Homo-oligomer: A and B are copies of this chain.
C-alpha cells in the first residue's frame, strides 16, 4: 500500500506524468522507496479510477497523450488518514548479509570482489546524496529559509546519508573479516 502513498506525496509536491514519477523514484523519492514504471502506471490507473487522482491529458502531435496526474481532495484525505495510522517498524532485507553468512559453506575469499563492488555502489550513492544536500540545503545555491516541506525533505535525506555512511563502514568491517578468514591482504 505504501507505493500509493509515496505517489500521493510525490504528486502533492509536484503534479506529473507516470514517466516523470518513475524518474523521481530513481532519484529523490527513490532514496527510500523504489518502483518500476510498470507498477507506477498500474497504480496510477487504479488511483484515478478510485477518485484519488485527476488526469489531464495533454494531446501531443503524433504521440500518445501525455497524462499529467494531480491529487484530488479524496487523495489528500487518504494520505492524511494513512499518516494517522500506525505502521510496523521496518525489518531489513539485506541479500548481501545472506551471502555473507552463506560464505561459511563456500570460499569466503570469493566474496571479496562482490563486497567491494557493493562498497563502491554505496559510496557513489553517498556522493550523490551529499551533492544533492549541498545543492538544495546547505550550499551557497540553496534557497533561503526553508519551509516545512523542505525541512522534512532534508531530514529524510540526512537519513539516507547516515545509512550510506553506516553501510560503507560496515562493508569495511566485512572486508577486513573476509581478508582475515582467507589470509589475504586488504588492498589500500
A103 at the interface (CB under 8 A from B): yes
Q: Are A105 and B163 in contact (CB under 8 A)?
A: no
A12 at the interface (CB under 8 A from B): yes
Q: Are B156 and A89 in contact (CB under 8 A)?
A: no
Interface of A is mostly: helix
How far is the CB of A11 from the nearest CB of chain B, in Å? 10
Q: Are A95 and B152 in contact (CB under 8 A)?
A: no
Q: Are A97 and B156 in contact (CB under 8 A)?
A: yes
Most buried by B among A30, A83, A114, A170: A83
Closest B residue to A93 by beta carbon equals B33
A141-156, CB < 8 A from B: 148-149, 151-156
- The interface on chain A, measured as residues whose beta carbon lies within 8 A of the other chain's beta carbons, has a size of 70
Measured in the bound complex, the distance between the Cα atoms of B2 and A170 in whole Å is 21
Q: Are B159 and A97 in contact (CB under 8 A)?
A: yes
A62-118, CB < 8 A from B: 76, 79-80, 82-84, 86-87, 89-106, 108, 110-111, 114, 117-118
Could you list 17 examples of A-B contacts with CB < 8 Å? A9-B98, A12-B104, A29-B101, A30-B91, A31-B92, A79-B102, A79-B106, A83-B103, A83-B106, A83-B111, A86-B117, A89-B117, A89-B125, A97-B156, A155-B174, A159-B174, A166-B166
Listed in ascending order, the chain A residues whose CB lies under 8 Å from chain B are: 2, 5-6, 8-9, 12-13, 29-34, 76, 79-80, 82-84, 86-87, 89-106, 108, 110-111, 114, 117-118, 121-122, 125, 148-149, 151-156, 158-160, 162-163, 165-166, 169-170, 173-174, 177, 180-181
